[in-house]
Amino acid sequence: MTRTLFTLVIGTILAGIPAHAHHSFAAYYLEDQSVTIQGEVVEFHFRNPHAILVVNAKDADGVMRTYAAEFGGPSRLAQQGITKDTLRPGDMVIVTGSPGRVASDYKVHLKSVQRMSDGWSWSGGRRRR
């Protein structure tokens, strides 16, 4: 009886704790579309759950915007040779990815990035030098 009561109490407590599930990129990005932006790296956040590349680039109307390009988690990127120092402020890059569902958020689900100064690039896990 004590074991059953203990199990019931623990189960009730655990049921009340919200699960932190990984979201689908399709919930936030138009995965069937593609955009390319060219600009200057402002910041590179190499952190969980996903790395974020912040880039200043002109939009389709020529207005300078700040874009947030989201891609893989740091552990996966590290396995592909990317570190917190791979992309640095001031680097000129070309980013291709899926646009955010809310255009005014200026978000991109990064599919590829190329650093213009030396031709280094990353494309969905395939890194080239």
CATH number at residue 122: 2.40.50.1010
The model's pTM is 0.77
Count up the domains in the chain and report the number: 1
Q: Cα dist. 20→23, 46, 49, 89 in Å?
A: 9, 20, 11, 32
What's the average model confidence in pLDDT over 54-64? 95
Q: 45 lies in which domain range? A: 27-128
pLDDT at 32: 94
Query: In whole angstroms, what is the distance from residue 46 CA to residue 94 CA?
Result: 18
As a whole number of angstroms, the distance between CA 64 and CA 104 comes to 13
Residue 22 lies in a domain: no
Residue 3 maps to a domain: no
Q: What percent of the chain has pLDDT over 70?
A: 75
Q: Which residues contact 32 (CB under 8 A, 6 or more apart)?
A: 98
Strand intervals (E) in the chain: 35-45, 52-58, 64-70, 92-99, 107-115, 121-123, 126-128
Average pLDDT over residues 63-69: 97
